[in-house]
Amino acid sequence: MLSFATANTDDECAWKDSTGECRTQAELDSIRKARDEWLWVDSCLVKDVWVLKTEVELDSLLKRHEIWAEIKRLKSIRIFGPMIKWLHILKRHEPRSEKLHLFQANLTDANLDSANLSAAVLCQVNLSNASLKSTNLLGAILFQASLSEANLNGAILSKALLKEANLSNDSLKEVDLYGAILHNANFSKATLWGANLSEASLKKADFQKANLSYANLSNADLSQAILSEVKMEGANLSGAIFEPIGLPGIGSIAYACNIERMLWKRSPAKLVELRNKLEESGFYRQARGITCAINSKDQSLLRYIAFDFTIEYGYNLLKPWTIMCWISGGMAIIYFLFFLFGRKSGVILIESPYDFGDEISLLYKNDGKKKFGKLNLSESNVYGKYKPLKTIYLVLRLPFWAIAFSAISTFSFGFRRFGFAQGLLRLAQRNIELEPYGLVRFFSGLQSLVSAYLILLWAANLFATPFR
């Protein structure tokens, strides 16, 4: 401790310290000058001497504490869904001896191509104009780092913390930013062609005039991100939360992939605005895709099966026909099995030739003995036995009749005798009818109802937009 109470005017003994020793005026001036640089004293005693710290050291420590507090806050946030995968990187906020730890370092124009900087702590580091081609920055912390005009082509930044980082004018072609935290990051005028941003958190990130063509933005969070004049041709937007500030170029996002699978969390206002602009620009199919994205939020299972799975809320008009083809093929297999092994189920072929009177033929009849027979009203033997070759010939014809009956069941709807099924039957050279019985009749009716619903749904969305 210093004592100024005993100071006097003597040049040789201007003042005395707390031990009673005399001190000169020069020593007092030196202490006063050093005192201006001293701002605080830490809590550690080194050889019974208080360690004095300067203001610069205090500012550095406070900035370190700010970064630590920010990471501590991020760890306390409850994050749901795929973003939980990258939370474990926040455990690396404390410096480790085996990992690179740089704070406010100046690495301008540095060549770090193919370097291994995984889990490195590079807070507020200046990497402007640096070359980081194929550099491994997996799980690195680049909080408030400056990467403007840096070359990051092919770099690995998966699960990295880049909050408030400056990546403007950067070349980020095919860079891996999977699961990265990019809150408030600056990507203005950056080139992210083919970059992997899947499951990345891009809240309030600035992508103004950036190139995101063919980038993977699946399950990314674009809440309040600035997307003005962004190029997004071929970008994958499946599962992306689309609530940005400003919209990308309409002629660009119209050619993005999986726009019908975008999500919204708080409000679909931006999706509605995007849909209206797409319609005004003539991109009607893409506008239907946005309608699908709006309506698929928190939908029930019944609504999903009825409208999303079947026609994607009017976006995919070919899907009903695809579903009908698959159902028809599957039911053909079921009918064939019934023809072979069914005891009380099958299909009767009723044939009425114009020249020979009524004749009733049994396509397949199982009387418990698994016999094939032909029913003819003029014959006394109802279940006549056939020769083996005749039986084999009939069995080989069963797949054809199974496919034909499945196709007829698909279009068995209409008004009275006017329907698609009647048209299919008239393609035959004979006047025939197919009458199912047993379980085959039940499955045929169910197939007809499903097919009728799919065709009506397709027709309604072909000429109108009922889900808009």
Residue 213 CA to residue 131 CA, distance in Å, equals 22
Q: Write the pLDDT tens digit of every residue in 115-158.
A: 888 888 888 888 888 888 888 888 888 888 888 888 888 888 88
**Token output for 349:** 């072929």
- For residue 110, give the amino acid letter: A
pTM for this model (two decimals): 0.66
Q: Tell whether the model's pLDDT for residue 259 goes beyond 80.
A: yes
Distant-in-sequence, close-in-space partners of 211: CB < 8 Å, separation ≥ 6? 190, 191, 192, 193, 230, 231
Q: Where are the domains of the chain?
A: 15-54, 319-454
Residue 396 CA to residue 413 CA, distance in Å, equals 29
Q: Is 52 helix (H, G, I), strand (E, B) or coil?
A: strand
DSSP 384: P
Specify whether the CB–CB gap between 463 and 322 falls below 8 A.
no
Q: Write the pLDDT tens digit of every residue in 322-348.
A: 999 999 999 999 988 887 777 777 777
**Token output for 460:** 């309604």
Residue 330 CA to residue 346 CA, distance in Å, equals 16
Q: Write the pLDDT tens digit of every residue in 295-329.
A: 998 889 999 999 999 999 999 999 999 999 999 99
> What spatial distance separates the first Cα and last Cα of the chain, rounded to whole Å?
80
Specify whether the CB–CB gap between 369 and 380 falls below 8 A.
no
Residue 457 CA to residue 463 CA, distance in Å, equals 11
CB burial readout 200-214, b (16+ within 10 A) else e: bbbbbbbbbbbbbbb
Q: How confident is the model at residue 196 (pLDDT cuts 50, 70, 90)?
A: very high
Q: Which residue has the higher pLDDT, 257 or 412?
A: 257
Q: Write the pLDDT tens digit of every residue in 413-452.
A: 655 455 565 656 666 656 667 778 888 889 988 999 999 9
Lowest mean pLDDT among 276-280, 385-389, 396-400: 385-389
Residue 395 CA to residue 336 CA, distance in Å, equals 10
Residue 258's nearest CA partner among 298, 219, 204, 205 is 219
Q: How confident is the model at residue 88 (pLDDT cuts 50, 70, 90)?
A: very low
Q: Tell whether the model's pLDDT for residue 214 goes beyond 70.
A: yes
DSSP 232: -
Q: Determine the pLDDT at residue 231.
A: 92
Q: Tell whether the model's pLDDT for residue 44 goes beyond 90.
A: no
Using a pLDDT cut of 70, give the percent of the chain over it.
Answer: 68
The full 3-state SS of 147-209, as one line of letters, equals CCCCECCCCECCCCECCCCECCCCECCCCECCCCECCCCECCCCECCCCECCCCECCCCECCC
Mean pLDDT of 23-33: 73
Q: How confident is the model at residue 232 (pLDDT cuts 50, 70, 90)?
A: very high
Residue 427 CA to residue 293 CA, distance in Å, equals 43
Residue 175 CA to residue 177 CA, distance in Å, equals 6
Q: Is 38 helix (H, G, I), strand (E, B) or coil?
A: strand
Specify whether the CB–CB gap between 385 and 371 falls below 8 A.
yes
The number of beta carbons lying within 10 Å of the beta carbon of residue 2 is 12
Instruction: Identify the residue whose tokens are 């698909």.
Output: 410
Which residues on neighbouring strands pair with residue 349, listed in sequence order? 361, 434
Q: Determine the pLDDT at residue 58.
A: 57
Q: Which residue has the higher pLDDT, 196 or 24?
A: 196
Mean pLDDT of 70-78: 53
